[in-house]
Amino acid sequence: MGLKLKIYNVLVNRHRTIKYKYEAYIAMSGGKGGIKAWMYLLRLNFGYYILHERGCEIKRPKQKLTLLPSESAFFSEKICPAEELAERLSGYGCVSFDIFDTLVFRRTAKPTDVFYFVGEKLGRLDFRRLRIEAEKKAREIKHKQTGSYEVDIYDIARRLSVVTGISEEKLIQTELETEQAFCFANPYMKRVWEILTERGIKPVILSDMYLPADMLEKLLVSCGYSGWGELSVSCESGRSKYDGGTYRLLKEKHPADSYIHVGDNRISDVEKARKEGIEAVLSVDPNGGSGKYRTSDMSPVTGSVWAGTVNARLHSGEKVYDKYYELGYVYGGLLIYGYCNFINNYAKEKNIDRIFFLSRDGYIVKEIYDGYFGEFQSEYVYWSRAVGSVTSFDGFPFDFVEKYILQKVSTCAIIKDIVEECGLSALSDEIGERLDARFDNAAAGRLAEWVYANKAKVAAALSSEKAAAKQYIAEKLGDAERILTVDCGWAGSGHFSVSELIKEIAPLSKTYGALCGTNNAFHIYPDVSDAFLTDDSLRAYCFSSSHDRDLFEFHSPSLRHNLYFEMLFSSEEGSLLRFDMSDNGPVPILSDNPNKEYVRLIHDGIRRFAADYSATGTEFLKNVSGRDAYAPFKSAAENGLFERYGEYRFEELTMKRR
Q: What is the pLDDT of residues 17-29, one digit of tens each?
A: 787 677 767 755 5
CA dihedral 494, 495, 498, 504 (to 10 degrees): -140
Query: 621 and 523, same structural domain?
Result: yes
The CATH number covering residue 228 comes to 3.40.50.1000
Query: 400 and 374, same structural domain?
Result: no
Across-strand partners of 54? 56
Query: 247 and 106, same structural domain?
Result: yes
Q: What is the SS3 assignment for 381?
A: strand
Residue 653 resides in a domain:
no
Q: What is the pLDDT of residues 498-508, one digit of tens each?
A: 999 999 999 99
pLDDT band at 35 (very low <50, low <70, confident <90, very high): confident
CB atoms within 10 A of CB 617: 8
pLDDT band at 558 (very low <50, low <70, confident <90, very high): confident
Domain ranges, residue 372: 330-382+478-644
Residue 25 to residue 5: CA distance in whole angstroms: 19
Task: Compare 398 and 336 and report the one with higher pLDDT.
Answer: 336
Position 16: which residue type? R
Residue 501 to residue 465: CA distance in whole angstroms: 13
Query: 217 and 175, same structural domain?
Result: yes
- CA dihedral sign of residues 461, 462, 463, 467: positive
Residue 648 to residue 563: CA distance in whole angstroms: 11
pLDDT band at 6 (very low <50, low <70, confident <90, very high): confident
Residue 651 resides in a domain:
no
Across-strand partners of 512? 484
Residue 78 resides in a domain:
no
pLDDT band at 59 (very low <50, low <70, confident <90, very high): very low
pLDDT, mean of residues 254-281: 97
Cβ–Cβ < 8 Å for 245, 275: no
pLDDT, mean of residues 353-365: 97
According to the 3-state scheme, what is the secondary structure of 92-128? CCEEEECCECCCEEECCCCHHHHHHHHHHHHCCCCHH
Question: For the whole model, what pTM was predicted?
Answer: 0.87
Residue 18 resides in a domain:
yes
CB atoms within 10 A of CB 23: 16
Residue 654 is predicted with a pLDDT of: 42
Task: Compare 426 and 377 and report the one with higher pLDDT.
Answer: 377
Residue 420 to residue 415: CA distance in whole angstroms: 9
* Closest C-alpha to 112, from 98, 126, 97: 126
Residue 653 is predicted with a pLDDT of: 41
Of the listed ranges 152-161, 515-524, 547-556, the least confidently predicted one is 515-524
Q: What is the pLDDT of residues 363-416, one digit of tens each?
A: 999 999 999 999 999 999 999 998 999 999 998 899 899 888 888 877 767 888
Query: 134 and 102, same structural domain?
Result: yes
Residue 310 resides in a domain:
no
Residue 315 resides in a domain:
no
H or E segment at 398?
A: helix 397-404
Rounded to the nearest 5 degrees, what angle is found at the Cα of 66, between the Cα atoms of 62 and 67? 95
Of the listed ranges 68-77, 122-131, 275-284, the least confidently predicted one is 68-77
Query: 539 and 409, same structural domain?
Result: no
pLDDT band at 651 (very low <50, low <70, confident <90, very high): low
* Closest C-alpha to 355, from 161, 365, 201: 365
- Tally of domains in the chain: 4
* Closest C-alpha to 215, from 153, 169, 157, 134: 153
Residue 1 is predicted with a pLDDT of: 53
Of the listed ranges 62-76, 90-104, 120-134, 287-301, the least confidently predicted one is 62-76
Query: 105 and 248, same structural domain?
Result: yes
Query: 258 and 225, same structural domain?
Result: yes
Q: According to DSSP H, which parts of 94-242 are helical?
A: 114-122, 127-146, 153-164, 168-182, 187-198, 213-222, 234-237
pLDDT band at 538 (very low <50, low <70, confident <90, very high): very high
Cα 332–chain centre separation: 2
Residue 411 is predicted with a pLDDT of: 73
Query: 503 and 418, same structural domain?
Result: no
Q: What is the pLDDT of residues 466-496, one digit of tens each?
A: 999 999 999 999 999 999 999 999 989 999 9
Instruction: For residue 400, count CB atoms less than 10 angstroms from its CB and return exposed for 0-12, middle for 13-18, buried for 19 or more.
Output: buried
pLDDT, mean of residues 40-60: 70
Q: What is the pLDDT of residues 454-464, one digit of tens each?
A: 999 999 999 99
Residue 601 resides in a domain:
yes
Of the listed ranges 32-36, 499-503, 606-610, the least confidently predicted one is 32-36
Residue 634 resides in a domain:
yes
Residue 2 is predicted with a pLDDT of: 67
pLDDT, mean of residues 329-357: 98
Residue 403 is predicted with a pLDDT of: 84
- The whole-chain average pLDDT of the chain stands at 91
Query: 369 and 270, same structural domain?
Result: no
pLDDT, mean of residues 642-650: 90
Residue 393 to residue 458: CA distance in whole angstroms: 9
pLDDT band at 190 (very low <50, low <70, confident <90, very high): very high
Domain boundary among 428, 461, 494: 461
Query: 585 and 531, same structural domain?
Result: yes
pLDDT band at 60 (very low <50, low <70, confident <90, very high): very low
Query: 274 and 150, same structural domain?
Result: yes
Of the listed ranges 88-97, 232-241, 428-437, 585-594, the least confidently predicted one is 428-437
